[in-house]
Amino acid sequence: MKKYILNIILPFLVTLSVHTGFAQNAGARYEIDAKRISVSVTDKDALPRSREFIRLDSTYYVGYYFEGMYKHERAADYLGYRNCILPLKRSLSLFEKDFVGNLKTSVTAGTPDARFIDIQQICTALYDSYSNIEKPDSAIWVLEKVKSWELPYDFMEYHIKSAWTIHRNRYYLGKYAFLKNTVEENEQLALNHLYQALAEGNTTANFYLAIIHNYLQNIDSTKYYYDYLMQNGGMSYNNYAHFKNTLGEFALATDNFEKEKFAFDKRLIESYYFLPTLYIMSGNSLRAITETNDIIAKMGSTPGFGWYNIALARSYLYNGQLDSAQKAIDKAAQFKELHLGTTLGQSQYDFAINVVKLLVIERKMQSIQFFNSGWWYSIKDLGAMTELLGQKFLLRFAIVNEFANNPERQNVIYTLFSSENVIGFDEIWNLIKDISPEYFKTFYQQKMQQEKRENVIRYMKLFYADFLYLDGDKKESRAEMENILYNTLLDTAHEKLFLGRLYEGLAKNYDNDGDDQKLNTMLFYLHHDYPQLIPYSGLKMKVKLTAAGLVDDQVNIVRSELSDCNIAWVSEGGPYTLLADITFEKKKDKYEVIYSARYNSGEIAIPSQHILFKKGKGVGKELAMRLFGSSGPVEMQTE
């Protein structure tokens, strides 16, 4: 047995210690090489060992290698990865000085020696650390340094990693020396690297070619590379979901994202960011809230926490829970996010936060108008509205300035459903609707004629019709929307938000024309498919309210608040009237209000639910939101 162990250890020591005669302390290095055999660089003992190795010989790379790899293995935030860099860079420098020349002759492809494994780990970890703290120029420096050694085996996959780094940073024009002057030139540079990798026999390039061609919306090329990956292995369901989302095939996008949402890791799991948007489009914001809260609870404040909170804020927003949306987006804004293993970066992160913040402000303003149909007579409401207007102006000014400097705004934002877009189509509409209706009317008129993605054309048409309305062409806007309504086939299960915005747009047109019957019809359809949009639309839906049970001062406060809301209260039902029932009861020191709603046909609109409270203030407003599909806690903490 001893002879067997010696047969393993001695060749390893010889491999590690060869060519060290020039070292200042060959004995110390031999001792370090012997001791390192029993400890992995990722073991808990690696850090104290690294200090011992540095003390024995501070000119030998191994001590710094152990320190850097130990820290890299445990890094999960900005400081963690930043702290890896100094020892890894020192290790690389010392290794290069002593051993790179020997690697050129001792390394052969497929048979790496011990030194080769060390330097491969050092360079890979250093490249990753630079990338993870958004220092792509330093990451490229690592790649170029390894390339300059002219080794017979490209262990860093120079062309693959160069293409990835270029693509991730394609929009930082003029900031980094390795980039070209336009996004298009940068993408072509990335493609050239990948084609060279293919020519050298590295089929991993197919994986990245699919990503970049999808970003460029080269649909046929993207399909070709995903077909290859399906047949030969290596396909990512997450990336394929992005492709299907780009095509407007939302059911398949959802299915493929869901296949990868269980891949837990110390990084952003993109499925948990993009799936909530698809759930929102399907009218299922409650599922979006539940699943996003679950992943946040599971992963804690690791990379991805900020992205998940953006998704959570968006989910609360479309469910009508604005206070919760505000808390979630504030958490995202305060979190120092790391963007690991994803093409999403800091500029996209900041952009998504600002867009959701803007929507929260706008919804708060619309809520004031919904909760008090005579809000302009209220000093409190006027003050709140003025404050929100100031916040909106400053935030929109910042976003527009950012937009003006974004070289991707046309190809990623305006185009809709781009693979690198981090906000939903409805958020895009709310973002650009006040910028220049005349410009965007023309833009989307041209886009809907040029668009090759069949399932996306209807979204271009809806944007065109909406901008017609804003630009004063209301008659043409109505005609365009009616054309979409009567002549478009779509996935009604996954495109409820599209339908909701179409019904809302038509309702506004009919309201403008004084066509009450069609207005009420569209509001009925809107409540059926996406009721949470109604309180923010400025439109009044017909509701017949039946109240029963206890009556006292607190109950009267609730009923008064409810009656003040911007709702067309009627005494008789009708085919397009919502029939709401509320019952008040007293249970010890708490009140309970049981509420439900149905349509004239008998179909359940809002299933029976209840709210517990002690004081009536604020409950009537919350009850109004619940009648329009919002969710919330069972017990309200009222004033």
Instruction: For residue 193, count CB atoms less than 10 angstroms from its CB and return exposed for 0-12, middle for 13-18, buried for 19 or more.
Output: buried
Residues facing 15 on adjacent strands? none
Cβ distance 388 to 365 under 8 Å? yes
Cβ distance 467 to 441 under 8 Å? yes
Angle formed by the axes of helices 136-148 and 114-132, nearest 10°: 160
Residues facing 545 on adjacent strands? 580
Residue 569, phi then psi, degrees to nearest 5 = -75, 130
Residue 265, phi then psi, degrees to nearest 5 = -165, 170
Contacts of 198 (CB under 8 A, 6+ apart): 205, 206, 209
Contacts of 282 (CB under 8 A, 6+ apart): 250, 254, 493, 494, 495, 496, 497
- Helical spans, DSSP H, in 488-590: 496-513, 516-529, 553-564
pLDDT of residue 639: 62
| The two structure tokens encoding residue 542 | 């017909």
Q: Which of 499, 522, 502 is nearest to 511 (CA)?
A: 522
Give the C-alpha distances (Å, rounded to integers) separating 498 from 362, 384, 474.
Answer: 20, 31, 20
pLDDT of residue 18: 45
Sequence-separated contacts (24+) of 473-480 with Cβ below 8 Å = 473/441, 474/509, 474/512, 474/513, 477/505, 477/509, 478/506, 478/509, 478/510, 478/513
With b for 16 or more beta-carbon neighbours within 10 A and e for fewer, the 577-591 pattern comes to: bbbbbbbbeeeeeeb
Q: Which of 84, 28, 93, 91 is nearest to 65 (CA)?
A: 91
Task: For residue 106, give the amino acid letter.
Answer: S
**DSSP percent split of the chain into helix, strand, coil, nearest 5:** 65, 5, 30
* Strand pairing category for 578-587 and 590-599: antiparallel
Give CA 170 to chain center in angstroms: 19
pLDDT of residue 403: 81
Cβ distance 307 to 326 under 8 Å? no
Q: Which of 383, 466, 387 is nearest to 432 (CA)?
A: 466
Cβ distance 16 to 114 under 8 Å? yes
Tracing tokens 């993207």 back to the chain, one arrives at 222
* pTM score above 0.75: yes
C-alpha span between 286 and 357 (Å, rounded): 20
pLDDT of residue 106: 61
Angle formed at CA 371 by CA 365 and CA 377, multiple of 5 degrees: 80
Give the C-alpha distances (Å, rounded to integers) separating 274 from 314, 320, 322, 512, 572.
Answer: 11, 20, 20, 36, 44
Compute and round to an integer the Cα radius of gyration of the chain: 30
What does the pLDDT look like over 256-297, one tens digit per residue? 999 988 767 778 999 999 999 999 999 999 999 999 999 999
Residue 487, phi then psi, degrees to nearest 5 = -130, 20
pLDDT of residue 621: 97
Other C-beta atoms closer than 10 Å to the C-beta of 63 total: 25
Contacts of 262 (CB under 8 A, 6+ apart): none
Residues of the chain with pLDDT under 70: 1-24, 105-112, 263, 638-639
Other C-beta atoms closer than 10 Å to the C-beta of 462 total: 22
Other C-beta atoms closer than 10 Å to the C-beta of 230 total: 11
Which structural domains are found in the chain, ordered by start? 1-156 (1.25.40), 236-404 (1.25.40.10), 542-627 (3.30.160)
C-alpha span between 554 and 78 (Å, rounded): 52
Residues facing 581 on adjacent strands? 546, 596
Starting at the edge strand that comes first in sequence, how are the strands of the sheet with 604-613 ordered?
568-569, 542-549, 578-587, 590-599, 604-613
| The two structure tokens encoding residue 249 | 């095939």
Cβ distance 480 to 504 under 8 Å? no
